[in-house]
Amino acid sequence: MSGEDDDATNAAADGGTDHPADSPIAEHARPAGGDAPETGLAGPTPEERPHPSGRRDEHGVRKEPDDGGEATRRATVSALVEDEPGVLARAAGLFRRRQFNIESLTVGPTTVEGHSRITLVVEETEAGIDQAKKQLAKLTPVIAVGELSDDAVAAELVLLKVRGHEPDKVHAITSMYDGETLDAGPRTITVQITGDENLIDDAIDAFDQFGIIEIARTGQTALERGDSPTTPGEEPGHSAGSTDDDEFTNYDD
Amino acid sequence: MSEPATPDAASPEEGDDEGRTDRAEQPEQTDEEAAAAREDAATRAPGSGANAVVAALEAAGVETAFGVQGGAIMPVYDALSESSVHHITMAHEQGAVHAADAYGIVRGDPGVCMATSGPGATNLVTGIADASMDSDAMLALTGQVPSDMVGSDAFQETDTVGVTAPITKHNYFASDSDEVGRTVGEAFALANTGRPGPTLVDLPKDVSFGETDRPVGEPTAPERAVPDEEADEAQVEAAARAIETAERPLCLFGGGVIKGDATEQVRAFAREFGIPVVTTMPGIGSFPEDDDLCLSWAGMHGTGYANMAITHTDCLIAVGTRFDDRLTGGVDTFAPEAEVVHVDIDPAEISKNVHADYPVVGDAATVLDQLDAAIGYGDAPDTEAWREQCAEWREEYPMDYAIDPDEPVKPQFVVEAFDAATDDDAYVTTGVGQHQMWAAQYWTYREPRTFVSSHGLGTMGYGLPAAVGARVAADDDREVICFEGDGSFLMTIQELSVAVRENLDITVVVLNNEYIGMVRQWQDAFFEGNHMASEYDWMPEFDTLAEAFGAKGFRIDEYDDVEAVVEEALAYDGPSVVDAHIDPEENVYPMVASGAANGQFALAEDQL
Ligand SMILES: Cc1ncc(C[n+]2csc(CCOP(=O)(O)OP(=O)(O)O)c2C)c(N)n1
């Protein structure tokens, strides 16, 4: 602030007391009146200011002015977690809270005691998938997070209960999908089909002709093919049936 | 200007002040004594789960805890009576959690708060969420009904772990007396590891009562939670090249700079390369606001010049910030021409809100040293023209206000008067509202950890309990000033009783406009001036109320009162409340409307 302002400030602040003329009190105060507004601040208005022409998209990525919205894709994410109470709730809560679009979520034990694997299918933009993985990795019980490649092995199980009027036809279709009949009665037949998601969608379409009464799908679970670990750095444990240590020798290569 | 010396402003060491806290009365421990005490706590057989909890606090070097008693936490309190940990009983659990939060901010170590199950635990929730949003290290201990009653809707049962899961860095349900001490130690260490945050341990009563002789050990965070401090060399090199070629580089320092104790490094960095600096609100104090390079803070109520600089920079060097929407306005218009270098310890912050062209993951202090080394001296950007431009903006958009001796006192004047009368290292705590913004705008911060405020959550009532925590944490020769609004103050005013009981030297300045002013400002701007539920003309006389609590009350009605009241209130050795009746119509400017472009800040209401 300039020197003139100081005098006026002090006159106002003093109200005639013995306040020293060079008091540092209220260095930004100026007397009411003059050019500047009584309320608000002085300076060029928004229209008078220079404006940059650039823009960002909703993820804060700089873009060309006529760029459209971003495409989404489906990703299968695998998280290796400590098998402690509440870990699934934490993962699910995280996805709900951050509004990630989850298609399916499965969980089950692994070969290592005390570890579980959570498999998630999410439909998000590239930035959203990246965030989903990073946020998941931040949870304390999460050991490692990986995104599965396109040729990963993935499967789902579905139970279908259909009307039992045409048992032979139902049986034929069940065989066609390498399924199994779990329960057959005069009124209903329940079958189990396992396979990748497309196969299951097809099977459901095929059974539709009989009238599907109930359906239970597990959601997709998946593993990386061959020697590649499903989550980075994942160390295999030894399941009861695995006695041959050599099987895993090259696992980390 | 130094604090006026008065005969009764004696230091507690002289022991003439009976009300002073016990902590101050205890003889100072040497470092070796403190280390020995920590080791003893880590290695002795605790006897019970509750003793193990307390031993874990001692092993972690905890000096003070804030809390409120109750059924399920009673065993832990009982164990605490034999402990070196000083407990400060607060009037409300919300007071305890904010006090612990502020204590942690000032000390740079996690603050500790305690509450019983059910309502005790739920009363902590606001403050835990607050700490979580601001990445403040904190440990909360809650009592829980006995394990075999969990899930039965027993008396005072709440699923505390479930309720607090989304607002803690991690939380624990203690299920074993042998493990509980280690768990508390781990929770404490985890709170302070990597990106800090609040942790919680829920303690069922039977686990606290249960026998154990398992020593608690040193507090250690899980290995996976300890991030690398050093950033990837390739990331650093790429960022360095981007900075070298920038024409209008700008540093943006966030709260992470302060949490990461990186102020020395960021200051050296900006000065070495002559790069102008803006901070976020949580980053206030990371860079001295009276430095020529400093444009103060950017965002909704940041300075016009900071918002102009952030709008026009071509290279934003952001350190320890999460790009909150109060900072960015609409992301589509945020620093739209800038390549963004983002330094953060938490990889999940990178490209969360604003895409980082140059992500650099690591500890702020370490990374700034790395960056500094990677930028060749001859290659440093030439920032002279850009600095001149920033200086012009500073002239064009001055932060000032008009005063008229016959009109009500302007709040900015009161803030500046207290600033002028205190040292650079005084602590300021605030409530939430207009007063918070004036305290941020018109106080010149020069040191880290001196501005203690509720940023991300914006919790009204934060100021007074935070002042209690800051006072207990701070050295006795540093002032603690709390700016509160009338509405915000009334939300946690009961903690004045604690300040009186502990004889804490705090000056609360209520910027009293008889409105919940920030709401009134928005109603005037966006709701045709319909003051629905925002007129608070039923406020008590805060100076008189202060006296009823046993504190000292002062009142400011006109400019003539200011100087004398400032002097007397600061000189008073104990809690005092200044009821400053300010211009009720005064508004906070500049203002960026929610979701608007930073460069479109309004200087007056008709520009919104
Ligand atoms: C716990 C809580 N409730 C409501 C709000 C919404 N809110 C934000 S600012 C504000 C007004 C604060 O009024 P006052 O404390 O009198 O301060 P002033 O704005 O007048 O300085 C309100 C109600 C909030 N931030 N926190």
Per-residue pLDDT reduced to its tens digit, A161-198: 999 999 999 999 999 999 999 999 999 999 999 999 89
**Angle, CA B348 vertex, CA B345 and CA B353 arms, to 5°:** 110
Residue B552 known to be catalytic: no
- Which residues, at least 6 apart from A212, have a Cβ–Cβ distance to it below 8 Å? A160, A161, A162, A204
Report the pLDDT value the prediction gives residue A70, as an integer from 0 to 100.
73
Helices assigned H by DSSP within A99-166: 126-138
Considering only CA atoms, which of B499, B487, B435 is closest in space to residue B461? B487
Nearest Cα neighbor of B397 from B281, B277, B309 is B309
With a CB cutoff of 8 Å and minimum separation 6, the contacts of B589 are A40, A41, B301, B602, B603, B604
Q: Cβ of A89 and B162 within 8 Å?
A: yes
Q: What is the pLDDT of residue B267?
A: 98
Contact B1 A27 (CB under 8 A): no
Tell me if residue B159 falls in helix, strand or coil: coil
Residue to mutate (ligand 1; options B460, B489, B493; most atoms within 8 A of CB): B460
Record: contact A50-B312, CB cut-off 8 A: yes
Looking up tokens 């039992």 gives A164
Cβ pair B332:A56 closer than 8 A: yes
Residue-level pLDDT at A242: 52
- Considering CB atoms only, which of B348, B403, B442 is closest to A135? B348
Most distant CA atoms of chain B, gap in Å = 72
Residue B181, classed as helix, strand or coil, is helix
Residue pointed to by tokens 């009904």: B145
Annotation says B93 is catalytic: yes
Parallel, antiparallel, or unpaired for β B47-48 and B211-212?
A: antiparallel
Closest CA to B256 of B164, B336, B367: B367
What confidence score (pLDDT) does residue A58 get? 84
Helix (H) or strand (E) holding A193: strand A188-195
pLDDT digits 0-9 by tens, A91-120: 999 999 999 989 999 999 999 999 999 999
Interface of A with B in 29-58 (CB under 8 A): 29-33, 36-46, 49-58
Confidence of residue A239 (pLDDT cuts 50, 70, 90): low
The residues, ordered by sequence, that sit 6+ positions from B307 with a Cβ below 8 Å of its Cβ are B298, B299, B590, B592, B598, B599, B601
Distance A131 CA to ligand 1 centre (A): 32
> How far is ligand 1, taken at its centre, from the CA of residue B487, in Å?
6
Within a 10 A sphere around the Cβ of B582, how many other Cβ atoms?
26
* CA B438 – ligand 1 centroid, Å: 14
Residue listed under structure tokens 């065989």? A175
CATH topology of domain A73-147: Alpha-Beta Plaits (3.30.70)
Strand partners, B88: B66
Q: Angle formed by the axes of helices B233-244 and B364-374, to 10°?
A: 60
A/B interface, count of CB pairs below 8 Å = 195
Return the residue whose CA atom lies nearest to atom 8 of ligand 1. B433
> For this structure, is B156 an active site residue?
yes
Q: What is the pLDDT of residues A53-80, one digit of tens each?
A: 888 988 888 876 555 557 899 999 999 9
pLDDT digits (tens, 9 = 90+) for A221-233: 999 999 899 999 8
| CB-CB neighbors (< 8 A) of A23 in chain B | 420, 563
Supply B398's token pair.
């001055």
Q: How far is B149 from chain A (nearest CA, A)?
A: 17
Count the Cβ atoms, other than its own, within 10 Å of residue B603. Answer: 22
The verdict on A131 touching B (C-beta cutoff 8 Å) is yes
Helices and strands, number each (H, E), in chain B: 24, 21
Nearest chain B residue to A12 by CA distance is B405
State the catalytic residue, choosing from B25, B29, B33, B155: B155
Catalytic residue among B133, B300, B518, B539: B518
**B522 alpha carbon to ligand 1 midpoint, in Å?**
11
C-beta atoms of A62 and B601 within 8 A: no
pLDDT (average), residues A140-165: 95
Q: Scanning every residue of chain B, which has its alpha carbon at the shortest distance from the alpha carbon of A139?
A: B170
A-chain residues near B585 (CB < 8 A): 39
Q: CB of A231 within 8 A of CB of A146?
A: yes
A20 and chain B: CB distance < 8 Å anywhere?
Answer: no
Residues B489/B508, Cβ–Cβ less than 8 Å: yes
Query: Residue B467: what residue type?
Result: A
Backbone phi, psi, residue B192, to 5°: -105, 10
Looking only at the bridges linking them, the beta strands covering B507-512 and B480-485 are parallel
Cβ separation B604–A33 shorter than 8 A: no
The reported pLDDT for the residue numbered A4 is 40
Q: Which of B156, B389, B494, B600 is catalytic?
A: B156
Q: Ligand 1: distance of its center to the CA of B354 in Å?
A: 28
B205 is catalytic: yes
Domain boundary assignment for chain A: 73-147, 153-222
Give the Cα separation of B539 and B486 in Å (integer).
7
Greater confidence (A238 vs A132) lies with A132
| Annotated catalytic residue B287 | no
Instruction: Determine the distance in angstroms separating the CA of A142 from the nearest CA of chain B, rounded to an integer.
Output: 9
pLDDT of residue A30: 86
For residue A100, give the nearest of A67, A70, A122, A81 by alpha carbon.
A122
CA dist., res. B379 & res. A147, Å (int): 40
Residue B5 burial by Cβ neighbours in a 10 Å radius (0-12, 13-18, 19+): exposed
Q: What is the DSSP letter of A153?
A: E
A153-222 matches A73-147 in CATH topology = yes
Q: Print burial letters for B295-324: b (CB count within 10 Å at least 16), e (below 16).
A: bbbbbbbbbbbbbbbbbbbbbbbbbbbbbb
A83 C-beta neighbours (distance < 10 Å), count? 17
Q: Hey, which of B462, B508, B516, B523 would you mutate to test ligand 1's pocket, going by the most ligand atoms within 8 Å of its Cβ?
A: B516
Determine the distance separating the centroid of ligand 1 and the alpha carbon of B431, expressed in angstroms: 8
Q: Which of B94, B519, B522, B535 to mutate to test the pocket of ligand 1 (most atoms within 8 A of CB)?
A: B519
CB contact under 8 A, B403 and A32: yes
Residue B515: CB within 6 Å of ligand 1? yes
d(CA B200, CA B158): 14
Residue whose structure tokens are 């803690």 = B168
Ligand 1 proximity of B511 Cβ (cutoff 6 Å)? yes
> How many Å is the Cα radius of gyration of chain A?
33
**Coil, helix or strand at residue B607:** helix
CB A15 within 8 A of CB B564: no
CA distance B13 to chain A (A): 33
CA atoms of A66 and B530, how far apart (whole Å) = 40
What is the whole-number distance in angstroms between the Cα of residue B394 and the centre of ligand 1?
A: 30
- Of the pLDDT bands very low, low, confident and very high (cuts 50, 70, 90), residue A130 is very high
CA angle B595, B601, B603 (to 5 degrees): 140
CA distance B94 to B176: 28
Q: Which of B63, B66, B90, B93 is catalytic?
A: B93
Token pair 């932060």: residue: B399
B-contacting residues in A 138-177 (Cβ below 8 Å): 138-140, 143
pTM: 0.92
Distance in Å, alpha carbon of B155 to nearest chain A alpha carbon: 23
Confidence band for A33, pLDDT divided at 50, 70 and 90 = confident
For A8, the closest chain B residue by CA position comes to B403
Q: What is the pLDDT of residue B161?
A: 97
Q: Is A21 on the interface with B (CB under 8 A)?
A: no
Beta carbon of B493 within 6 Å of any ligand 1 atom: no
Half-sphere exposure of A98 (CA within 13 A, CB side): 24
In this structure, CATH architecture of domain A153-222: 2-Layer Sandwich (3.30)
Q: What are phi and psi of B137, to 5 degrees?
A: -70, 130
Stretches in chain B below the pLDDT threshold 70: 1-27, 377
- Among the listed residues A132, A143, A147, the one whose alpha carbon sits nearest the alpha carbon of residue A82: A143
Is the sign of the CA dihedral B539, B545, B551, B554 positive or negative?
positive
Omega before A109 cis (within 30°)?
no
Amino acid letter for position B112: V
